[in-house]
Structure 1
Amino acid sequence: MLKTQAQIISGYSQKINEVTTKIETTKKLIDQLSLVRIGLFLAEILFFVLLLNSADDNSRTLIQFALLLPVIGFVFVVRKQARLDREIDYQKQLLWVYQNEWNQLNGKPNGYEDGKVFESESHPFSSDLDIFGRASLFSLVNRCYTKTGKDLLAERLSHKSTKAEILARQEAIKEVQEKIEETFDFRANLHGHNIEKIEQIKTQLAGDLGLQLAFVRKKLLRVYVAVAPYITFGLVLSSIFIGGLSGNILGLFVFIHLGINIFLNSKINLVFYSFGGGSGLLNSYAEAIKWTENQPWKSSYILQLFTSKIPISKEIKTLSKVIQKFDARLNLIVGGFLNGLFLWDLQCCISLDKWYQSSSKDVISALNHLGDFEEIISLATLAYNQPAWVFPSIDEGFQLSGTEIGHPLIAVERRVNNDFYLEAKPTVDIVTGSNMAGKSTFLRTLGINMVLAYAGGPVCARSLQLSVFSINTYMRIKDSLNESTSTFKAELNRLKMILKNIEQDKNTFVLIDEMLRGTNSKDKYLGSKVFVEKLIAEKTPGLFATHDLQLADLKEDHPTALRNFHFDIQIINGEMEFDYKLKQGPCSTFNAAILLKQIGLSLD
């Protein structure tokens, strides 16, 4: 049984409370462990004082052993605190995810990016239909944090798909919708990390890393680096128990090791600075990938995302461990100690090279496919959050028919839905009506739902059946001072683009709002008339919103190829009332005279 939106909002509230409580509990435990650390430190001081004041050899031996206990306990507590710190960081990201969903369903902005970087005035429809930018379809849908995910979602919302692709994506989105509770953990693992860092790592894996690691592939160097820790360990033991020359030899080895490290430092730095500090990020990404690997997926669209037979999450965790060890060089004292004794940086470079030779290609693919899952999850989350919306039926041939179609960016309490259908063959539909009556909103309502449908997502309607069209729009035409382009020239450029697209793709659907605003009324009518007749001749369906009633009269010349619709107003006690409902036939009631009168101008 589907949840109502009120139940969904309540569910998010409950999750927010649960995660908040868990964060508070974890913080208290971390504070308690901090007190334990202080206690262990004080215990160590106490044992040390007892050691200094003890004259009995047996007591001194016992105290020496006791000195180890606070140290061991301290190490254990520090590691436990580190795990809790990582857990609390994850819980904070999960809290953000739940809070963001609650915010959106309560009319607040989406915390994910709004896609402004994808805005383009030259695109066939994205600017006119509010696909990208503030208060856009992208800002409503987006749940992508990675660059790949955002790019993929933008691609789906701005380019045409085939019927087979749309149906395959619908199947995948519905499958993910059934697992929606688990996707919040997936999103929490990806959110909050340095996006540029993961892109840097992917670029490095796909690019120069192989060449940068070539210096550690020399056999003699590998052999020495492999045996150096054993030699050092033997010299340390010899220095402790034998002394004498052993200590001098150990010092010489440390000096030689530091010299080797300094000599190769520039090459080591090239490798390190692409990965350094990325251990936590990769661990989180590995957890996200692990979730995708552990699901019993059925949809073909998702199954084709898995190109490796081995669990890539394990390979990424291995890489993370190498990088975590490599990060020791960030502490000059610890790094100098480890390099002097064990050639630590070279050990890490060799481990990284072994990993690179066996796993890098599969890891790059898996990291990129996280974006595919984010993009699918974005639309699945929309379907979950809007239980009244439906997945459209994608048909062959020529079809567009919908009931109670509403604009997805208008709040449900203000949204007015309309029914609409095309005839069995293409027509040009003239939509007339008063200012503010709803003509432009209706065109955008139809267009934006078509975009959602072609992305494989749910639509804001009770039902929608449609075939695959290439959408072309003409609505917000702007002049350009930078390009010395007037409004009229910009309009001509837009018309030229639409005509070219119609020639290239016969399955084009055109949405036009008040054509040729930048010229005189006579030329405007004649230009609009010629364009309407061009659409009719090309058998291209279109909706043509206009104030020009003469265009509605074209039905006399094209009785089967042109239809008239309108939005009207009611004048009650001198006040205008709009119902925003689409009606048959041309409009007979306009509001210009009333609006002019309100500002002190009267028409005779």
Structure 2
Amino acid sequence: MIPQARLALPQAPETFAPRRQGAFQPLNTDEIDATSRYRVQLETIDQQLRELEQKDLMLGRIRVGLILVAIVLWVVSIGSTGVPGAGWLGWLAFALFFVVATINEPVRDSMEELRRNRSVIERLIARLHRDWEKLATKRMTRLLDLVELPQQRRETAGDLDLFGRASLFHLVSMTATAPGTRTICDWLSGPAIGSIARERTTAIEALAPHRDERIRFYTLARRIGDSSGDPDHFVQWATGERWLEKRGWLVAWAKASAAISVIGVVLMLLALAGIGGGLLMRIGLFGLIAIMLINILITTVMLGPAHQIFSIAMANRQAVTNYIELFSAANWLPKTSDQGRLQSLRSTLYDSPTSAFEGMKSLAKVARAGSLRQSAGTYLLYLPLQAFALWDVRVLRRLEDWQAEHASYVKGWFDSLGELESLMSLAALRDDYPQWTKPIWQDDIDKAQVTSVAIGHPLLRDADRVTNDVSVGPPGTVLLVTGSNMSGKSTMLRSVGLNVALAATGAPVCAESFTLPSVELTTSIRVSDDVSQGVSFYMAELHRLKSVVDHARAMAKLNDRVCLFLLDEILQGTNSRERQIAVVRVLDHLIQSNAIGAITTHDLELADEEALMSMATTVHFRETIRPDAEGNEQMTFDYKMRQGVSPTTNALRLLEMVGLGENEG
């Protein structure tokens, strides 16, 4: 009778199982230093927040007190027995209420900014600790939902956990705007081209030491991302049609109503001075009332789209100021010739006469006029201006003049912002993980080979990660990874794929050394059937493999890159002999296309296939089964890769361990 076996496995949540067995690495001191540094910043922010909250509470009480005082004084002034001057004092208290409200606004703005700053620091800490619950926020999920990818990229992204809840995106991204998120997603899922990646790496290395500037940048970007002034909407407005062009009569009426209102006021003043008597007073008063009613009607019925434009072009005056500050971050980008990419971004965002910084400074002048309706301190001024001079139409006219002047530049501004935001995100990864290495790019495509020393899965914590030396390529060969179930084969594939994606962005990679050619990734790791479309699991696998082969053939026609394929336990939906033949045929198609790659299997007969042996370098993972103190078998994994074909299998052992062995029940 076989003793009851116990399966000693790490906890396996929805995402990744820790790789603890064997020799594992201690928590890196650089990670501890980064966490401590961020926690000090959190303590400073919390202290500043407490001070501002006390000030806000005090100002709030003063505001309530002034309103109550004003009401009491107005009541006291009523009637023949009223206190002389009490009414005027009430109006004074009411005016002071608005003064205090105006003082209170920047206090609350500062509190909101500190909370955003705190959220940024908390995200940086969560990245270090792989706290996916805190990283995969609704806001980040919303931004990811806006990103559209071609099918092949989307499938590879799903196989490698590039996006989603516990993903490479959440590890590397500090983006807060749609352009930034779209850019970094494009970099992560796109081709890894050496010349482009080198340029990005140079920029990332230059940005990494600027810690305070980067955190300020993240906070400003988050403020814009949280506001209604979304950059994508702003670009659509700036490059779109001008609303007032087809409604020129509104501009004419705004001017006419202002002139009529001025005349009405003059007539009333003349009447008060004793000139013209009651007739001028009635004419002036009637004219003002008529203008006010007409303009209120126009505001209510006609100007909804104009107000929507305001919410996009200048959600508020502070939103435009945020853009100015965000673009002015380019001021500290290097000017040196060896920083070509950053120098170009600096020019687009800050230095040139048509830069985003200059354009937003011009827009700020319009925003000052438009912000009258949004501030408690100026709203009483806005009301008569709108009622008697259609202030909103005048502001919109100035906005559209700005739009006509800058429309051709705006898209370039925000494309550059997305690039800078992505580089800033990756600079934090460089700063927080100085022990990760800079990729070395191989220029000879004919000898294309991915070679790594101590490569690890970047989504696992340092303490849980087991590293291996992995080599894939050159063309004409395939890395065949054998081993029993749960031994680490799929994790190794993803380690290669994720680090290639990191290298493509210019970021450091999770390895001691990592050499690669320019490549495009294609994968078949997670495949599922589709009952709604009548697609079986086997047919779904065939469709995926056809996509992989087609992509490899397309890459074979290019001279600047090679296809890197990663295939996990493919064609399981058929019998063993047919599977062996089919796998060899698929690999033959890939090798004829000069692709390089790796394939995993726990089918030892497949590893013995003669046609496959002629092209494959074979490695394996294994498990260890030992009795514990009570005599029960315990299965462990060290997740270390070894040369040759796996000497063990564990499917029946696992069956027994979950209570489905021959003697169970």
State the partner residue of 2:608: 553
Measured after TM superposition, the shift of residue 252 of structure 1 is: 2.9
- 1:27 — aligned with what? 53
Residue number among 499, 502, 514 corresponding to 2:549 in the alignment: 499
Matches of 1:150 and 1:207 in 2, distance apart?
23
Letter aligned with residue 552 of structure 2 = I
5 Å-filtered alignment, 1:338-487, equals 338-363=385-410, 365-397=412-444, 398-422=448-472, 426-487=476-537
Give, in whole Å, the separation in 1 of the partners of 2:442 and 2:426.
21
Taking the TM superposition and a 5 Å limit, the aligned residue runs for 1:529-568 are 529-554=584-609, 559=614, 561-568=615-622
Aligned position for 1:15 = 41
Q: Deviations over 1:107-161 (max 9, x none)?
A: 4220352536658875452121111212111222222222222222221111114
Aligned to 2:648: 589
Is structure 2 residue 582 aligned with structure 1 residue 527? yes
Which consecutive residues of structure 1, in runs of 5 or more, have no partner in the other structure?
none
The CA deviation string for residues 545-565 of structure 1, in whole angstroms up to 9 with x for no partner, is 112223333568865x42111
1:267-319 CA-to-partner distances (Å, cap 9, x unmatched) read 43322223248115623532443432432334322333443525233134234
CA distance in 2, matches of 1:363, 1:285: 16
- Residue 261 (structure 1) aligns with: 295
**CA deviation vs aligned residue, 1:183-224 (integer Å, no higher than 9, x gap):** 22222223255566524443222213x143443488855754
Distance 1:138 1:219, change over 3 A: closer
The equivalent residue for 1:251 is: 285
Structure 2 Cα separation of the partners of residues 121 and 349 of structure 1: 42
Larger CA deviation: 186-195 vs 166-175: 186-195
For 1:35 and 1:409, locate their aligned partners in 2 and report how far apart those are by CA, in whole Å: 49
Query: Given the alignment, which residue of 342, 346, 351 partners 1:302?
Result: 342
Q: Distance in 2 between matches of 1:403 and 1:422?
A: 12
Shift of 1:578: 1.5
Cα distance between partner residues in 2 of 1:41 and 1:77: 11
Q: Which residue of 2 aligns with 1:285?
A: 322
SS state of the match for residue 160, structure 2?
coil
Query: CA 1:173–1:483 in structure 2 vs 1: closer, same or farther (change >3 Å)?
Result: same
Q: Which segment drifts farther, 493-502 or 251-260? A: 251-260
Map of 1:274 onto structure 2: 309
Q: What does residue range 59-208 of structure 1 map to in structure 2 within 5 Å?
A: 70=93, 73-109=96-132, 110=135, 111=137, 113-114=140-141, 115=144, 122-123=152-153, 125-191=156-222, 193-194=225-226, 197-198=229-230, 199-208=232-241
Q: 1:504 to 1:50 in 2, by over 3 A?
A: closer
Structure 1 Cα separation of the partners of residues 145 and 490 of structure 2: 22
Matching residue's letter, 1:525: Q
Q: Which residue of 2 aligns with 1:572?
A: 626
The answer to which of 298-307 and 428-437 deviates more is: 298-307
Partner deviation per Cα, 1:307-341 (whole Å, 9 max, x = no partner): 35252331342343243235589x99976633343
Letter matched to residue 340 of structure 2: S
SS in 1 for 2:482: strand
Q: Distance in 2 between matches of 1:535 and 1:122?
A: 16
After superposition, the Cα gap between the structure-2 partners of 1:50 and 1:596, relative to the gap in structure 1 and judged at 3 Å, is closer
Q: Per the alignment, in what secondary structure is the counterpart of residue 321 of structure 1?
A: helix
Higher relative contact order by CA 8 Å / sep ≥ 6: 1 or 2? Answer: 2
Deviation at 1:354, TM superposition (A): 3.4
Q: CA RMSD in A?
A: 3.6
Whole-angstrom distance in 2 between the partners of 1:353 and 1:117 = 28
**Are the aligned partners of 1:390 and 1:463 in contact in 2 as well (CA < 8 Å)?**
yes
Q: Could you tell me the percent identity over the aligned residues?
A: 25
- How far the C-alpha of 1:481 sits from its partner, in A, is 0.6
2:262 and 2:250 map into 1 onto residues whose CA distance is 20
3-state SS, counterpart of residue 255 of structure 1: helix
- 8 Å contact from structure 2 (residues 45, 114) kept in 1: yes
Could you state the TM-score of these two structures normalised by the residue count of structure 2? 0.79
- Please state whether the residue corresponding to 1:581 is helix, strand or coil: coil
Separation in 2, partners of 1:537, 1:355: 57
The equivalent of 1:215 in structure 2 is 247
Letter of the structure 1 residue corresponding to residue 193 of structure 2: T
Deviates more, 1:379-388 or 1:14-23: 379-388
Query: Are 1:116 and 1:132, in contact at CA under 8 Å, matched by a contact in 2?
Result: no
Output the CA distance in 2 between the equivalents of 1:95 and 1:46: 42
How many residues are matched?
Answer: 595
Give the Å deviation of 1:228: 5.7
* Worse-matched range after superposition: 398-407 or 533-542: 533-542
Partner AA of 2:616 in structure 1? L
Output the amino acid matched with 1:163: G
* Residue 408 of structure 1, CA deviation: 0.9
CA contact (8 A) 1:41 1:70 kept: yes
Q: 3-state DSSP class of the match of 1:587?
A: coil
Structure 2 stretches of 5 or more lacking a match? 1-27, 557-561, 628-632
Letter in 2 for 1:530: R
Q: 2:566 aligns with which of 511, 521, 530?
A: 511
Match of 1:4 in 2: 30
Counterpart residue identity of residue 451, structure 1: A
Shift of 1:439: 0.8
Q: How far 1:257 sits from its partner (Å)?
A: 2.2
1:399 Cα offset (Å): 3.3
